[in-house]
Amino acid sequence: MLEMKNISKVYRTEHVETHALSELTVTVEAGSFVAVMGPSGCGKTTFLNTAGLLDTFDTGTYHLDGQDVSKLKDREMSRIRNEKIGFIFQTFNLIPDLNVFDNVDVPLRYRGMPAGARRQAIQESLDIVGLSSRLKHLPSQLSGGQQQRVAIARALAGTPRLILADEPTGNLDSAMANDIMDLLEKINETGTTVIMVTHDPELANRAHRQIHLLDGRQIDLEMDEPVPLAGDRAATVGE
Amino acid sequence: MEFGPIVRSLFHNKTRFWLVTLEIALTLALVINCAVYILDMGSKMNRDTGMDIENILVVHTEPVSPDFKDETFLSQVRDEDLRLLAAQPGVLSATAFHQIPLSGSGSSAGRRAEGSDLNTIVIPYYLVTMNALRTLGAELESGRDLMASDYPPAGQDDIRDDDGVQRFNVLVTRSFADKLFPDGDALGKAVVNNDGTSVQTIVGIIKHMNNSWPTSDFGSDVMLFPLKPGTAERMRYLVRTRPGGLDALAATLEESMLTTNPDRIITLTSLAEVRDDTFSEDVALVKIFGGVIVLLFVVTSLGIFGLASFSVTERTRQIGTRRALGATRAAILRYFLIETWVITGIGLTLGTGMAFGLNMALASIADSPRLELPLLLTGIVVFWLVGMLAALLPAMRAMMVPPVLATRTV
Ligand SMILES: Nc1ncnc2c1ncn2[C@@H]1O[C@H](COP(=O)(O)OP(=O)(O)OP(=O)(O)O)[C@@H](O)[C@H]1O
Ligand SMILES: [Mg+2]
């Protein structure tokens, strides 16, 4: 599904250079559920941004779904994001002025789907997340967990091949976090590849596979000692 | 394409938009009504005066000698002046007028058609010596010009019949003739004052000429009276030259006239200058209204620009999210342009009603011209374009927001 080779990404500001990703090589099989872990600032978000074509990288090659996406035009990247990828954000990122229905509708309109097909897709994906009775609600009228479920419905509505979630449960309590995790598992069972960044080892354990990042590189935990930082944080983030 | 959600999202933010919407509406109403005034003024000022104003010199003399108090002396000087003026090289004709057409000051009297029950109307008139039409370059449409026999005999300053009723032959313009004689048979008919003590028989009809108030709605109503003008205070002549001969005449005329009689102050202007002077206030007003239009456009475009900028800045994160969800740059640009388009559209719709309202209100307190649909449509189109232009820069800024902003957590 996803094949990154020697990807490097450097953030340059006036005074410092930050190597957010250095020579990162990652492969994710289609249909798998991968948890990305690592201490704060290790490059998890940068990795996800790169994987989701939200940001460019400096060196290396990236194949997504068999296609070389290293040197695409902005318009083509927009199309791939729209058709192949579903994003779930830590802060939900719903559009506050639009109701639930219109929020889920956003990516479908960019795809130029006819109204009838859009309505059906919206209904179906809201059914999956259990919010089909809240079409007319504004995000501000929903709880955090409900908002994230709307966001998931929005990511699902376009039937993406890949779901990218950056700490989707980071702003939720553990009960809600579990609901969201259940949902992501359910989605994964239908064949959609899921890559999720999390600080919670319990949630990470439910994934098929874990990728540990440290200073922009993947580290192999079976060879190294467990990274204590991740565990420490999990203790505060978890229960 | 995204029309629905954009409008729905707008209506969740009503309070923010109504101000600019109202500003647009008010601006349209004011701009359109200013434009109505400007266009109306412009067309009035450009109207044909019916006179050869570029080639007519206005000679204003102000006697400083008490000799002029003597009627005989006065009339002698006038006859001498007229002879002198007519004899100047390049001069076609010269006539004494008691007031100057297009000058903004003149005389008028009430007259009604003899034997008719139509109301008395006000008619601006001029006391003139012979050859007035030739001097003005005005065209006689029917009947005849004034002749020497129409004037009071020498030594007499009036013509009265046995009953003491004043009786004169006069020329009137077609515009005036039609008002008192709607059937078009004014020639040979008489007009009288209210108490019947003054009767004028129409012996000729002038095709068209303006009176002293050319922009008024009676601006083409004129009666020319065969009474020799002039007082001890002032005497005025119009002198028509061959095309292009006016400057040459003006250069030497004062000296020649002072030779005839030195006891007076002589002022020379062209009739075109007189008209421009009369219009100067209107021209100033037109300029002010033009300035108001420009200013309103600038202020309103700034308002639209400000709103669009704010709308973009506030939604930077949302734009990033939309980009992440697959919006192309073009789609983002379109979003903000459509948003402005809708706001401007609502404002202009309101403004159309207000423009007509204001126009009717103005028409009811002063006689102002009607608002025509083509002008309104032009205003709307121009305004819409200005609005889109004002929104273009912020929309382009929105377009450049990178998708990665969606995941940034600060
Ligand atoms: N826009 C940027 N400009 C400069 N440096 C950046 C930028 N974005 C990220 N970085 C730096 O790159 C490194 C990796 O950042 P990233 O956000 O990927 O970390 P993360 O693993 O997601 O951390 P967290 O767990 O706190 O979310 C950090 O050192 C960060 O400071
Ligand atoms: Mg992060």
Write the pLDDT tens digit of every residue in B333-386. 999 999 999 999 999 999 999 999 999 998 888 777 888 899 999 999 999 999
Is the pLDDT confidence value at B407 over 90? no
Output the pLDDT for position B84: 95
Q: What is the pLDDT of residue B363?
A: 86
Task: Specify whether B299 is located in the same domain as B389.
Answer: yes
HSE-CB at A50 with a 13 A cutoff on CA atoms is 30
Start-to-end CA distance of chain B, whole Å, equals 32
> What is the pLDDT confidence band of residue B409, given thresholds at 50, 70 and 90?
low
Are B362 and B312 contained in the same domain? yes
Q: Mean pLDDT across the stretch B262-276?
A: 94
- Minimal C-alpha gap between B313 and chain A (Å): 15
Residues of chain B contacting A93 with CB distance shorter than 8 Å: 317-318, 321, 324, 406
Ligand 1 pocket test, pick from A13, A40, A46 with the greatest ligand atom count within 8 Å of Cβ, gives A46
Task: Report which secondary-structure segment, H or E, holds B257.
Answer: helix B246-260
Q: Which residues of A touch B332 (CB under 8 A)?
A: none
CA atoms of A208 and A198, how far apart (whole Å) = 14
The structural domain count of chain B equals 2
**pLDDT attached to residue A228:** 47
Tell me, what's the pLDDT at A226?
Answer: 45
* Pick from B61-75, B195-209, B341-355: least confident: B61-75
Tell me how far the alpha carbon of residue A52 lies from the centroid of ligand 2, in angstroms: 14
Q: What is the pLDDT of residues B94-111, one digit of tens each?
A: 999 999 999 999 999 999
Please tell me the predicted confidence (pLDDT) of residue B410: 55
Residue in A closest to B9 by C-alpha: A97
Six token digits for residue B97: 């007028």
Q: How far is CA B176 from the centre of its chain?
A: 20
CA distance B332 to B405: 14
Domain boundary residue, one of B219, B236, B268: B268
Taking the CA of residue A228 and the nearest CA in chain B, the distance in Å comes to 24
User: In chain B, which residues touch A (CB < 8 A)?
Assistant: 1-2, 4-5, 8-10, 12-13, 317-318, 321-331, 402-404, 406-407, 409
Q: Report the alpha-carbon distance of residue B157 to residue B315 in Å, rounded.
A: 87
Nearest Cα to Cα of residue B97 among B224, B237, B231, B226: B237
Q: Please give the distance, rounded to the nearest whole angstrom, from the Cα atom of residue B344 to the centre of ligand 2.
A: 41
From residue B254, alpha-carbon distances to B90, B102, B186 in Å are 16, 23, 42
Kindly give the residue spans of alpha helices, DSSP state H, lying in A20-114. Answer: 44-51, 74-84, 100-111
Residues B130 and B70 in one domain: yes
Q: What is the pLDDT of residue A189?
A: 94
Q: Does some domain include residue B274? A: no
- Same domain assignment for residues B130 and B240: yes
Testing the interface with A: which of B311, B405, B407, B408 to mutate, by most A Cβ within 10 A? Answer: B407
Specify the pairing of strand B166-173 against strand B198-206.
Answer: parallel
- pLDDT recorded at residue A223: 44
Distance A46 CA to ligand 1 centre (A): 6
Please calculate the CA angle B335-B340-B345 and round it to the nearest 5 degrees: 125
The radius of gyration of chain A from alpha carbons, rounded to an integer in Å, stands at 18
Among B217, B235, B268, give the residue marking a domain's end.
B268
Bridge partners of B237?
A: B59, B96
* A107 with B325: Cβ contact below 8 A: yes
C-alpha dist (Å) from residue B399 to A77, B268, B334: 15, 67, 9
Q: What is the pLDDT of residue B161?
A: 87
Helix (H) or strand (E) holding B203: strand B198-206
Are residues B210 and B295 located together in one domain of the fold?
no
Distances (CA, A) of A211 to A25, A42, A60, A69, A206: 11, 12, 19, 22, 13
C-alpha–C-alpha distance, residues B186 and B143, integer Å:
10
Last residue of a domain, which of B268, B299, B319?
B268
CB contact under 8 A, A102 and B5: yes
Give ipTM to 2 decimals: 0.90
Output the ligand 1 site: residues, CB below 6 A: A 11, 13, 18, 20, 38, 40-46
**Dist. CA B34–CA B40, nearest whole Å:** 10
Whether residues B250 and B140 share a domain: the answer is yes
| B92 CA to centre of own chain | 30
Does B311 reside within a domain? yes
Shared-domain flag, residues B38 and B62:
no
Same domain for B309 and B187: no
> Do B216 and B317 lie in a common domain?
no
Say if the Cβ atoms of B8 and A93 lie within 8 Å. no
- Cβ <8 Å between A91 and B409: yes
Over residues B252-275, the mean pLDDT reads: 92
Q: Closest Cα partner for B276 from B94, B97, B99, B46?
A: B46
Q: Using 50 as the pLDDT threshold, list the residues of chain A that sit under it.
A: 223-239
- A196: β partners: A35, A165
Architecture of domain A2-226 in this structure: 3-Layer(aba) Sandwich (3.40)
Quick one: pLDDT band at residue B1, thresholds 50, 70, 90? low
Indicate the pairing of strand B235-241 with strand B56-63.
antiparallel
For the cut 50, the answer to whether the pLDDT of residue B391 exceeds it is: yes
Looking at residue B401, what is its pLDDT?
Answer: 95
In a domain, B275, yes or no: no
Determine the distance separating the centroid of ligand 2 and the alpha carbon of A43, expressed in angstroms: 7
Same domain, B33 and B127: no
Q: For helices B329-365 and B3-11, what crossing angle results, to 10°?
A: 60
B187 and B302 together in one domain: no
A107·B329 Cβ contact <8 A: no
Q: Please spell the DSSP secondary structure of chain A, one letter per residue.
A: -EEEEEEEEEEE-SS-EEEEEEEEEEEE-TT-EEEEE-STTSSHHHHHHHHTTSS--SEEEEEETTEE-TT--HHHHHHHHHHHEEEE-TT----TTS-HHHHHHHHHHHHT--HHHHHHHHHHHHHHTT-TT-TT--GGGS-HHHHHHHHHHHHHHT--SEEEEESTTTTS-HHHHHHHHHHHHHHHHTT-EEEEE-S-HHHHHTSSEEEEEETTEEE-TTTSPP-HHHHHHHHHH--
Q: Which residue's alpha carbon is nearest to atom 24 within ligand 1?
A: A40
How far, in Å, from the CA of B329 to the mean position of ligand 2? 25
Domain ranges, residue B250: 53-268
Residue of the nearest CA to atom 3 in ligand 1? A11
> B254 and B310: one domain?
no
Residue (of A40, A66, A69) closest to A52 by Cα position: A69
